[in-house]
């Protein structure tokens, strides 16, 4: 009697194992579909199946087609995610590519476009149980990126996203009536930047500057146009799925401190709680101690002390000026160190007649290397701060400034601007920044 029971139990166990194997094979076939194996049929912009893999475990999303929301439960650690499998409607495409997402958030946005670009759908993948892990570095590296730059197509694919935390897209321009001139930030470029940044977990902000001299000032001096401007900034940020906005107020000849602070306060009240608000500032105008209360990060433009149209050549961004500017904002405007972000110039100024510079005598770091590299060792140029009557920040000075930020526990660094960096991979200033700021 006992032996017969043992045999039946053994058979049942073998049958259970066989069924488990069959189920696993069927499941693996189902989840192996990706964007290249879209469901055939009429054009739709639809995600039919979405699964995240954590090692040998698969978490299949619960898709709400009406709200375009995919909910995936059970994942608490983003670092445990090792793969993505998904299935789209016939001929559809998805952006960004889920398989290229470097850092998963509790809410991840995807755009699905049908075959022939007839329809688009915005999907949100929710990971409600995802927990924030301790950061290895709390410092920020904010890079300005002009969407209209002549070097965009050459330099964009060479950006070192792993060394960046934020991108400030430059620039939408403030008009006197409170509307925005967005000609310099075309939708296709903005989408391209946003897609690539999101793949690397980099936040994207729109930077706001004046449309022409005095227009920004006029817009914020009047309560009605100020209110319109605030609404337009918040709406533009939301409509383009950006993480926030940056105020780069450079109407220095039209300075009204009261209007500036009122504008910052209104903007802070109007934005959503998760919308980032940063600014670019100088050290020779009054902002009051109220200013810092409204911003997440304050980017100090610690450069342009001497410009190329000056009669006396000189360094425009010394290490000492960098240190003084950071501490000025602590003492004068009572900004906490965690908000203060030191500006690094990826350019210089030249008084050499044979150097190809712009109308104010400025020349990019890559231009400096190209010009003087015809005669001198390019590594020697990259490690200097001056060649001839051309002044800039070479790699040692950039490293020294970054180390000061780390040693004194400031918020991080800001770069103007990414497309000015060296073309040569081994000479890029951004690599120096990353080596220091992103150190564990």
**What CATH number is associated with residue 183?**
3.20.20.80
> Are residue 228 and residue 377 in the same domain, yes or no?
yes
> Are residue 78 and residue 207 in the same domain, yes or no?
no
- Identify whether 362 is part of a domain: yes
- Identify whether 417 is part of a domain: yes
Tokens 């105008």 correspond to 285
- Identify whether 14 is part of a domain: no
Query: Where would I find the beta strands (DSSP E) of 347-433?
Result: 347-350, 362-364, 386-387, 390-391, 412-416
Residue 96: CATH number of its domain: 2.60.40.2340
Q: Please give the Cα distance from 115 to 123 (Å, whole number).
A: 17
- Identify whether 113 is part of a domain: yes
CB contact at 8 A, 328 and 397:
no
Counting Cα atoms < 13 Å in the Cβ hemisphere of 24 gives 8
CB contact at 8 A, 81 and 201:
no
Q: Please tell me the total count of domains within the chain.
A: 2
Could you tell me how far CA 205 lies from the centroid of its own chain? 7
> Are residue 266 and residue 225 in the same domain, yes or no?
yes
- Identify whether 282 is part of a domain: yes
pLDDT band at 30 (very low <50, low <70, confident <90, very high): very low
* CB within 8 Å of 95: residues ≥ 6 apart: 110, 111, 113, 195
Rg (CA), the chain: 26
> Are residue 110 and residue 174 in the same domain, yes or no?
no
In the listed set 67, 92, 126, which residue is the last one of a domain according to the structure? Answer: 126
Sheet holding 69-71, edge to edge: 62-64, 69-71, 120-126, 107-113, 93-95
pLDDT band at 133 (very low <50, low <70, confident <90, very high): low
> Are residue 76 and residue 217 in the same domain, yes or no?
no
* CB within 8 Å of 172: residues ≥ 6 apart: 180, 181, 182, 184, 185, 206, 207, 208, 209, 236
pLDDT value at residue 21: 54
pLDDT band at 35 (very low <50, low <70, confident <90, very high): very low
Other beta carbons less than 10 A from residue 342's beta carbon: 23
* Pick from 11-15, 62-66, 350-354, 382-386: least confident: 11-15
pLDDT band at 136 (very low <50, low <70, confident <90, very high): very low
pLDDT band at 152 (very low <50, low <70, confident <90, very high): very high
How far, in Å, are 197, 406, 439 from residue 138 at the CA level? 18, 10, 10
pLDDT of 24 > 70? The answer is no
> Are residue 68 and residue 99 in the same domain, yes or no?
yes
* Pick from 7-11, 164-168, 347-351: least confident: 7-11
Which domain covers residue 85, as residue numbers?
Answer: 35-126
- Identify whether 167 is part of a domain: yes
């Amino acid at each position: 009697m006992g032996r017969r029971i043992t045999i039946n139990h053994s058979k049942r166990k073998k049958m259970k194992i066989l069924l488990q194997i069959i189920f696993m094979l069927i499941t693996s076939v189902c989840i192996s579909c990706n964007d290249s194996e879209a469901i055939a049929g009429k054009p739709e912009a639809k995600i039919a199946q979405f699964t995240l893999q954590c090692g040998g475990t698969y978490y299949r999303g619960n898709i709400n087609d009406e709200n375009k929301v995919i909910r995936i439960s059970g994942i608490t650690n983003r670092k445990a995610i090792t793969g993505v499998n998904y299935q789209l409607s016939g001929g559809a495409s998805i952006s960004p590519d889920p398989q290229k997402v470097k850092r998963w958030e509790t809410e991840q946005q995807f755009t699905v476009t049908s075959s022939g670009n007839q329809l688009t759908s915005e999907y949100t993948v929710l990971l409600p149980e995802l927990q924030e892990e301790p950061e290895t570095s709390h410092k920020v590296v904010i890079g300005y990126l002009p969407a209209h730059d002549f070097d965009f197509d050459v330099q964009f694919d060479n950006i070192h996203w792993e060394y960046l935390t934020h991108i400030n897209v430059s620039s939408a321009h403030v008009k006197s009536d409170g509307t925005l001139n967005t000609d310099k930030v075309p939708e296709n470029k903005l989408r391209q930047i946003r897609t690539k940044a999101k793949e690397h977990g980099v936040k994207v902000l729109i930077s706001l500057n004046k449309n022409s001299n005095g227009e920004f000032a006029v817009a914020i001096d009047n309560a009605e146009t100020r209110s319109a401007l605030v609404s337009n900034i918040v709406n533009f940020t939301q409509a383009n799925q950006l993480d926030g906005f940056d105020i780069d107020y450079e109407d220095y000849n039209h300075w009204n401190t009261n209007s500036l602070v009122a504008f910052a306060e209104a903007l802070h009240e109007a934005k959503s709680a998760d919308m980032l608000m940063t600014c670019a500032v100088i050290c020779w105008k009054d902002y009051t101690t109220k200013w810092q209360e409204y911003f997440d990060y304050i980017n100090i433009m610690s450069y342009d002390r001497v410009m190329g149209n000056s009669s006396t050549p000189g360094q425009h961004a010394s290490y000492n000026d960098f240190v003084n500017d950071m501490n000025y904002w602590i003492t004068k405007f009572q900004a906490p160190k965690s908000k203060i972000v030191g500006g690094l110039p990826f350019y210089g100024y030249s008084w050499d007649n044979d150097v190809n510079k712009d109308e104010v005598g400025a020349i990019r770091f890559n231009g400096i290397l190209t010009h003087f590299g015809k005669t001198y060792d390019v590594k020697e140029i990259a490690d200097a701060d001056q060649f001839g009557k051309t002044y800039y920040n070479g790699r040692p000075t950039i490293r020294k400034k970054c180390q000061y930020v780390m040693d004194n526990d400031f918020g991080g660094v800001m770069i103007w601007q990414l497309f000015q960096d060296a073309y040569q991979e081994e000479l890029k200033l951004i690599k120096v920044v990353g080596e220091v700021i992103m150190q564990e």
